[in-house]
Structure 1
Amino acid sequence: MNTRPDQLRAGAEAASAGLPALMLSAERLAAALVPGAHGQRRAGTGEDFWQYRPATAGDTARSIDWRRSARSDGQFVRDREAQVAQSASLWVSAAAGMDYAGAPSRPAKRDRADLLALALGMALLAGGERVALAGQLPRPGRMQAERIAEALVSRPALPGDEDAPPAEALRPGQRVVLFDDFLGDPQPVLDYLAHAAGLGIGGALMQVLDPDEEGFPWEGAVLFRSGSGALRHDTRDAAGLRDAYLARLAERRALLSRAALASGWHFGTHDTGQPPAQALLWLWSVLEG
């Protein structure tokens, strides 16, 4: 069945309705960071000082640092650190459960994850990096931020409860950031980390949860169901499940933290009741560190 032009246009307009607000929010959030160029710790044409070295036959008189040379019997060249654009890949889960928001005053987990991913992407782009969503071609520049934003707001939510980053899209030299609630089967994420480590790829996992998922405030009779509705649990004493739930959440976080550490990655958490700048600053610090 062919889609009529008016249906296609209506779908495109609905998908892009949140684009201006997402772009504006991400720009404001990214402005909190002061991105810089990234060095390679080798001599090159960058601006940052790296080391002094003795002058050789191929060095010109202009390359000699005469002030440093005056303090010794030899001539020295002031090497600068080579600076090149790095590549970053961002992935945001589209699993059904990411659309959960525990209160009208809070954003859905997916909306917060989209905001963090785009703001981080903007900051990295401003620092001269090439950035893309997982599986897409990393590119530099302002237009790439708009491409990322359009892809985030237009992608449909998955009908199921599971989503996993595409391991086949990993490339050596990348840095990767994954945004998810990580409440589903952890094995795909563990396999992804192992594959990334084998390629020498580092990055960060950011677990995004609603405050209700952090504290389990429910009491009395409650029907719990997964985002897709495929999993259900009916209880008359929700409070009686709290300790077991919190213990399992702690176990899951410990598992992901150990796996990230073993792979040279970082694991962080964020709940949607907190300012997004906290999570963004953490991501920036671990990527820059």
Structure 2
Amino acid sequence: MAAVSPLSPEAINQIKRLDLRARMVVRGFLQGLHASPYHGFSVQFSEHRRYNRGDDPKLIDWLVYAKTDKYYIKRFEAETNLTGYLVMDLSRSMGFTASQQMTKFEYCICLAASLCYLMIMQQDPVGLITFGDKVRASVPARSRRGHLGDVMAHLTNLQPEGTTDLPACLNQVAAMMRHKSLIMLFSDLLGDPEPVFSALARLRHGGHDVILFHVLDEAEVHFPYDGAVEFEDPETGETISVDATGFREDYLKNLTDFQDAYRRKCSDLRIDYVPMDTSMPFDTALTEYLISRQARF
């Protein structure tokens, strides 16, 4: 039997408390950094950036140079602080799972909690916005350690229900933002992509950085069905019967085309598009966050 990664959803699902899940994910991720190709980020990530031509040589941190043989300068507080918002899709479709393990929603909640924990460790303000057919709640961005408990408590009490209007809610989020921020969006993106592209463009036009975590169930990605199967739309209740064996090729092609459309558009908008499924280890997403943060400086 293959070993289970300590950061896999299967392993994390054994831990019931969300704060302990987040702590395990982040600590495992940070330990993994030291043995990964991203080890070079670990110094910069916290409080330094590379020395660039034109910087004052007096700002060089010689202790870091002695350890790394590279020139780094200490970041000023204005350079270091990054305000982030976790933007969570609460639609009923997010509650789907075919494995009876971790639903898309539970996966996103654990991922959001881990990112919140990681940001507050870095003393970055982080807030939370939830939405369905409209924005439901907003927790202001703060960086104090006690704020972690506030966000965790809110995340723990969320439930996926009802329908979603992603474009309208993203436009509402854009209108709510008073300062340039990092928007971390968690959704299965079910629906017409074109209006979503317009709303994402508005966020980018406002100067915000965006990471789009497109989270699907493992079964939605691999379609492990055969024979006659009845599927139900979780938001409308409509059902459809299909020959899954004959439908698989068309389904997988449509999914690939859908993800490719998001990938191209996000690339055009300079948005980080991160397609994931509920079988993927959580450190994949944390690495994407780390790379995105690094790219800001």
CA distances 1:60-83 after superposition (whole Å, capped 9, x unpaired): xxx899x9xxxxxxxxxx985423
Q: 1:157 to 1:170 in 2, by over 3 A?
A: same
Cross-structure match for 2:267: 261
Q: 2:210 aligns with which of 174, 192, 203?
A: 203
Cross-structure match for 2:76: 82
**What is the distance in 1 between the residues matched to 2:271 and 2:164?**
25
How many pairs were matched up?
244
- Structure 2-normalised TM-score? 0.73
**What is the distance in 2 between the residues matched to 1:185 and 1:228?**
15
Note if 1:115 corresponds to 2:110.
yes
Q: How far does residue 287 in structure 1 lie from its aligned partner after superposition?
A: 2.8
Structure with higher Rg: it is: 1
Task: Confirm or deny: 8 A CA contact 1:257 1:267 kept in the other structure.
Answer: yes
Q: Which segment drifts farther, 224-233 or 20-29?
A: 224-233
Q: 1:286 aligns with which of 265, 289, 292?
A: 292
Task: Confirm or deny: 8 A CA contact 1:171 1:199 kept in the other structure.
Answer: no
Q: How far does residue 277 in structure 1 lie from its aligned partner after superposition?
A: 2.1
Letter in 1 for 2:25: L
Q: 1:144 to 1:220 in 2, by over 3 A?
A: same
Cross-structure match for 2:146: 143
Letter in 1 for 2:252: L
Note if 1:185 corresponds to 2:192.
yes
Task: Confirm or deny: 8 A CA contact 1:161 1:226 kept in the other structure.
Answer: no
Cross-structure match for 2:233: 226
Cross-structure match for 2:175: 168
Residue aligned with 1:137, SS: strand
Q: Which runs of 5+ in 1 are unaligned?
A: 1-18, 42-47, 55-62, 68-77
- Structure 1-normalised TM-score? 0.75
Cross-structure match for 2:66: none
Q: How far does residue 127 in structure 1 lie from its aligned partner after superposition?
A: 0.6
> Identity over the aligned pairs, expressed in percent?
22
CA RMSD of aligned residues (A): 2.9
Q: 1:221 to 1:146 in 2, by over 3 A?
A: same
Q: How far does residue 259 in structure 1 lie from its aligned partner after superposition?
A: 1.8
**What is the distance in 2 between the residues matched to 1:231 and 1:107?**
24
Task: Confirm or deny: 8 A CA contact 2:89 2:164 kept in the other structure.
Answer: no
Hey, which of these two has a bigger chunk of helix by percent? 2
Cross-structure match for 2:94: 98
Letter in 1 for 2:21: S
Q: 1:126 aligns with which of 114, 121, 128?
A: 121
